[in-house]
Structure 1
């Protein structure tokens, strides 16, 4: 089988983000057929219809091109105020304005890490609602909601818990199967 391209998006901009660590773990634990490109959300301006009408910003065009070229998407995100971080929601709002819309009919895997006890469950459910509107196909199982994230990673940024490692591997294999089916 040829390679499967996956656009990886992180909903955190923080350099030492738990979610960036989790995203790197997903990439490292993924089947060899999955090839990842990293989407940069840091330069995307706040969505504004006037700006869009004057022409999509170059950084958004680049991200959209990665999305269009990808066979699937991996979204790794924290939860802010019980919901989707603004930087991620803003990027999705921009990307949803293109025709064709890049999430349409595309497999999506979601995972997240949080210092709290609930992991990122509320954010992930809100993100699933957004993906329904965009007609993306979110992988249902396994759900990966890393709680107590400050203890979940070792000093090299690797997951400590073998069960979490196994869940991440299962999700990445599930994403591969979704693309192949």
Structure 2
């Protein structure tokens, strides 16, 4: 396989989101044979099982983009010690109708950045539980609970010097994880 396609889902809709910045910076750390597509989730209707037989265009687009990817990276904030509602909504849409989940078998990686000292530890644990149910092999180590502090990003939006080695290592290990699961 010459190219690896990774979908990135950012669990925040905020225009100046730390997690959106992290997702964009992360893509610059991958090998040349890895491409990325950020999947938009802000246009999805609220999940309603009554709509399973006639899914909205935004839902069918979401599922097609997931199915086209070799792996997925979730970059998620922590809201009230869990994942955001918009991320949960996207997960629910792409897993339905029952038996037609787009997630199954896709190797996943999880990161998150927060101003809180524990980063996004609780949100990531909740997300791991959900992804396990969805049959997504999820990279366990290294965990990436990133604290948003001065210098995390440089003036050009890249990962700053103090965090670059760790995040570069995370990306390298994730790409190896995906290669292992798509071989």
The TM tier, using the shorter chain, reads over 0.9
Structure 1 length normalisation: TM-score?
0.92
Q: Is 1:86 equivalent to 2:85 in the alignment?
A: yes
Counterpart position of 1:97: 96
SS in 1 for 2:135: coil
Shift of 1:152: 2.3
Deviation by residue 1:14-34 (Cα, 9 ceiling, x = unmatched): 111000000011101111121
- Stretches of structure 1 that go unaligned for 5 or more consecutive residues are none
Alignment of 1:118-129 (within 5 A): 118-129=118-129
In structure 1, what is the equivalent of residue 179 of structure 2? 180
Q: Deviations over 1:113-172 (max 9, x none)?
A: 10111100000000000001001011111211111346522333222243x222222222
Give distance in 2, aligned partners of 1:6 and 1:52: 26
Tell me the CA shift for residue 100 of structure 1. 3.6
Which residue of structure 2 lines up, in the alignment, with residue 63 of structure 1? 62
Task: List per-residue Cα deviations over 1:84-127 (Å, max 9, x = no partner).
Answer: 10000100010011544222111101000101111000000000
Q: Does 1:3 align with 2:3?
A: yes
TM-score of the superposed pair, with normalisation by structure 2: 0.91
Q: CA RMSD in A?
A: 1.5
Q: Secondary structure at the match of 2:52?
A: helix
Confirm or deny: 8 A CA contact 2:18 2:148 kept in the other structure: no
Q: Which runs of 5+ in 2 are unaligned?
A: none
2:145 matched residue in structure 1 = 145
Distance in 2, matches of 1:175 and 1:103, equals 17
The Cα shift of 1:7 comes to 0.6
